[in-house]
Amino acid sequence: MFEHILVAIDGSSYTKQALPAAAEIAKKFDSEILVLHVSEHDRGRAVVYSLETPAAATRLVAGAVKQLQDAGLTAKGQLADVAAGHVAKSIVETAKANGSDLIVMGSRGLSDVQGMILGSVTHKVMQTAAIPVLVVRNSTAKPALPNVAVGAFAP
């Protein structure tokens, strides 16, 4: 059913449960996972600037890919750099370009109205993607896979 899963991560506490959710689905369907991190940049008067370094973005994706691979899953990573406000579009376009069957994302759990007002990336992806989008809510419940809180997946 899901051969290619795209999981979008940004390093926030809101997306920490997206990776184990994607891993769980990938194990059930023997899927490949693409870990995507989209960095936003903005243009000042004289320079283009980003809120994170390319090295930090690379470490984030490499760490997620390693966790998935250590759990016995097929995974690769990809970075994208886009202008501010274009993260959702980049996620949807990357999913399409890679033949993804499912997008997995974390969310703060805002209502539809809050998401529209605040411009939630997750809300925009849900509205524009032509494939299913699994939204993993941040909760205080235990993650679906053991030891996720310490950064490892159970085999």
Q: How far apart are CA 59 and CA 122, in angstroms?
A: 23
With 0-12 CB in 10 A as exposed, 13-18 as middle and 19+ as buried, what is 98?
A: middle
Average confidence (pLDDT) over 39-45: 73
The structural domains of the chain, ordered by start, are 4-140 (3.40.50.620)
The per-residue pLDDT for range 114-143, each reduced to its tens digit, is 444 445 888 899 999 999 999 988 665 444
Structure tokens at 88: 């959702």
Average pLDDT, the chain: 81
Q: What amino acid occupies position 127?
A: Q
The per-residue pLDDT for range 55-84, each reduced to its tens digit, is 989 999 999 999 999 999 999 999 999 988
Q: Greater confidence, 52 or 57?
A: 57
User: Is the sign of the CA dihedral 15, 154, 29, 78 positive or negative?
Assistant: positive
Q: How far apart are CA 34 and CA 14, in angstroms?
A: 19
